[in-house]
Structure 1
Amino acid sequence: MCQQRRVRAVYTMPTLHNPLGWVLNTGQRQALADLARQHDLLIIEDAAYARLVSRPPPPVVSYAPERTVYVTGFSKNIATGLRVGVVISPPRYRPEIERAIRATTWNTPTLISSLICAWIEDGTVARFETQKRQDARQRQQVAREVLCGLPVVSHPDSYFVWLPLGEESRADRLANALMERRISVSTAEPFCVSATIPQALRIALGSVPFDSLRPALLSVRDAVEYEQYR
């Protein structure tokens, strides 16, 4: 692609990719860094879910710090209400990033920023992350049990699963049918950047109480099987 088109940057989610849950290994991360240097590309590393992985590989920014903008936050690994982000950038990109932040969000609430800093220092963030990983693994176990036999793609530490559908299935029709049962799932459309959209569902596991997860997933399985054999 870099030889055929003028590519200036690559956006990557190398640790707990959303929606597939993939984690690039160290060789793949090094290859990405080498490719970026070869073609003079900026790397934008989205690490929103990275802290949920118990033993993640080194971030891509450690392989190419001079050309990687590392972005993360606390809403995925701690709590959705903590809308505080972190950007680590090479010096040459900082003025543009600062202008973009100032134009879109201006600043973050002082109270939330102070709370996050205190929680990092006293170990609260680390404890919350450990609890979140344990909760995610329990929910993934339930998903594997209920969706056994279906082509589910996921990671043991993630809060979502990716469910490819059969050739005759329609993800939008299935999502509408589940919505009538008060179950909300996503189709592949919001995650696609090409004209070809696969028939698949992204199922979030963390948005319902744990006791409600199994019945909800059973409803998803019933709807998927009905869609396949209708």
Structure 2
Amino acid sequence: MKIARKHGLLIIEDAAYAFLAKAPPPPLAALAPETTVYVSGLSKSVATGLRFGFAVAPVQWVPAIERTIRATTWNTPGVVTAIACGWLDDGTVARLEVEKRQDAAIRQSMARDILAGLGSVGHPSSYFLWLPLTEDIRADQIAMALTREHVSVSTAEPFSTCASVPHAIRVALGSVELEDLRKALEKVRRLIRAYL
């Protein structure tokens, strides 16, 4: 924050997954409100189809943000806004976030058990994890081999911000039934071990 303040930089805080942390640290927007735009929504924490987002920004940035929203999406339909506001007010959002956090923790625990020994990296209540690979195993080979097994994973390339892309695959843990997830994770384990 000191660097942002010193150089007049704007911090954009994407808090779409902040609800997954049971006791998250205070948002940067609370610590540096004059230089932080806090962005979040309900499509990750409540329901994918509930396309309702919001931003909290320094007053001088509000007109530019409003113009950008109008130029790209105009606005959220009134019914969606009414549902979102009602659920925020009556505690539905808070209850659903607790349930999702518990679900993510169950999935993460299952993944860690099944992928034990492969060095998985992920937050205990996250809906994804990373599997670092050794230098001699190409992530794209693993991803393609898993595709043939009807399991879709991502390499680190789309997420990398540096020239040297880490050898890793990203495994999403949500959106499927637990038994289907178990079977998919077992395929991931078997295939990676075959390459070791």
Common topology (TM > 0.5): yes
SS at match of 1:81: coil
Partner of residue 125, structure 1: 93
Are residue 65 (structure 1) and residue 40 (structure 2) matched? no
Partner of residue 80, structure 1: 48
1:190 deviates by: 0.9
Partner of residue 220, structure 1: 188
Which of 133, 139, 142 is 2:110 aligned to? 142
Partner of residue 180, structure 1: 148
Partner of residue 6, structure 1: none
1:38 deviates by: 2.2
Q: What runs of 5+ residues in structure 1 fail to find an aligned partner?
A: 1-32
1:49 and 1:171 mapped to 2: Cα distance? Answer: 26
1:136 aligned partner, one-letter code: A
| Cα distance per residue 1:96-122 (max 9 Å; x no partner) | 111111111111111111101101111
2:8 and 2:180 mapped to 1: Cα distance? Answer: 49
Partner of residue 107, structure 1: 75
| Cα distance per residue 1:3-53 (max 9 Å; x no partner) | xxxxxxxxxxxxxxxxxxxxxxxxxxxxxx222112221101010100121
1:48 aligned partner, one-letter code: A
Structure 1 runs of 4+ off > 2 angstroms? none
RMSD: 1.0
1:82-97 superposed matches below 5 A: 82-97=50-65
Number of aligned pairs? 196
2:172 and 2:95 mapped to 1: Cα distance? Answer: 23
SS at match of 2:39: strand
Task: Output the TM-score relative to the length of structure 2.
Answer: 0.97
Partner of residue 53, structure 1: 21
| Cα distance per residue 1:32-86 (max 9 Å; x no partner) | x222112221101010100121110100111100010000011111111111111
Which of 189, 199, 212 is 2:167 aligned to? 199
1:198 deviates by: 1.1
SS at match of 1:157: coil
2:140 and 2:97 mapped to 1: Cα distance? Answer: 34
2:138 aligned partner, one-letter code: R
1:176 and 1:110 mapped to 2: Cα distance? Answer: 43
Task: Output the TM-score relative to the length of structure 1.
Answer: 0.83
SS at match of 1:142: helix
1:93 and 1:39 mapped to 2: Cα distance? Answer: 17
1:227 and 1:207 mapped to 2: Cα distance? Answer: 27
1:209 and 1:112 mapped to 2: Cα distance? Answer: 27
2:87 aligned partner, one-letter code: W
1:111 and 1:146 mapped to 2: Cα distance? Answer: 43
2:167 aligned partner, one-letter code: Q
Partner of residue 21, structure 1: none
